[in-house]
Amino acid sequence: MHRLAQLAQQPSRRIIGLMSGTSLDGLDVALCRLHGHGTATRLELEHFATVPYNEEFRRRVRQVFAREQVSLEYLTLLNPWIGQQHARMVLACLHEWQVAPAEVDLLASHGQTVYHAPAHQHQHPDFPGLNATLQLGDPDHLAVGTGIITVGDFRQKHLAAGGEGAPLATYGDFLLLSSPDEERLLLNLGGIANFTYLPRTNSESTQTASAAFSTDTGPANTLLDAVVRAHFPQLAFDEDGRLAAAGTVHPDLLAELLNHPFFAAALPKTTGPELFGPAYLEAAQARTGTQALPVENLLATLVELSATGVARAVRLALAEQPALAVYASGGGAHTPMLLAALQRHLPACNFASTAALGVPPDAKEAILFALLANEAVAGRPFSIGAGRQRVPAIRMGKISLPD
């Protein structure tokens, strides 16, 4: 505890942020220097890498990923195993960067989400109204394996305080990327699409914080990646959306996909591959007789689904034709067809990458978890949003010591 007290008093902290998304492409590792805390936070990204997962890692995670029924033994064993694997990846990055583990103050680990169960989605009669989510990758194994104090299990505090455990980007986006000059929408196009709305900042940061909020909007890459893997086993994803760009949208299938109640539900809301998985797509294809649709047309339709889901949520939250700056991150930020579709749906918005704000789009989520760890150790709790959109105090995460 003495070490934690020391860290809280330091003018800056060196923190590694880790992120492993639903695409299972690899572990994002961001080594950051954070100065101060709260709205005075300044962050420097020193190093960033994505350590690719091998097929064995993906196979093991997919044994439990987004499945209602799994082997409890396998799930129990997978939790420490992922922690061990992530620890080895962190040490490999530090070795490559010529940084000793003793030179790092904190490790911030999101873990690997294997199941997300907001109440609106599971509707289990034994647990009415209960939101839950599960991430694997035990933080104690990370702490012992690296020798670095580890902050993990970030989502449970959000759940306990009445949230759905996601999206957590609101906090980091607000602290790091708010601006007095423009309204901003921070759009993350990962497996699931979500955005954070940031009003212009003013002298009353609490007022600005009460107007900020985040929500999921529907699938981004999760269905696209699943279709690509099913038809092209040698590929992990549709690089730059080239296959989708060769196809055309099927309007009947698109309409059926958009007919799901999620898209009309009130904001904020969360979801995951548990809902937007292959079964959802196969059922829509069966109802529209599009089982034989060429794969390029299927991918083009799924790109349009992602763009439409984002645009509907933005219009529902802000205005029919909002005029604001949109900064994209995540894998979908590299898909020109998706960005063009978003611009078509939201013509008054100006689209750019988060790189324009000094945040590499692939590193953004790992950076945000480093920021959350900084707040857990040195910050003061405060809330963001109001009413249904209010999310609880920012001090999240459980701390694991290496000894």
Is 147 known to sit in a ligand binding site? no
Is 28 known to sit in a ligand binding site? yes
What token pair was written down for 82?
């992922």
User: What are 189's strand-pairing partners?
Assistant: 193
CA-based nearest residue to 273, from 154, 164, 113, 50: 113
Is 26 known to sit in a ligand binding site? yes
| Longest CA–CA separation in the chain, Å | 65
Task: Provide the b/e sequence for 320-331 (b: ≥16 CB within 10 Å).
Answer: eebebbbbbbbb
Is 238 known to sit in a ligand binding site? no
Is 309 known to sit in a ligand binding site? no
Question: Which residue type is seen at 353?
Answer: S
Distance CA 35, CA 15 (A): 11
Query: What are the angstrom distances between the C-alpha of 356 and each of 191, 202, 231, 352, 402?
Result: 22, 22, 35, 7, 37
Distance CA 216, CA 270 (A): 5
Is 27 known to sit in a ligand binding site? yes
Q: Is 143 helix (H, G, I), strand (E, B) or coil?
A: helix
CA-based nearest residue to 294, from 246, 236, 365: 246
Task: Provide the b/e sequence for 281-319 (b: ≥16 CB within 10 Å).
Answer: beebbeebebeebebbbbbbbbbbbbbbbbbbbbebbbe
**Binding site per annotation, positions:** 21-28
**Binding site per annotation, positions for ATP:** 21-28
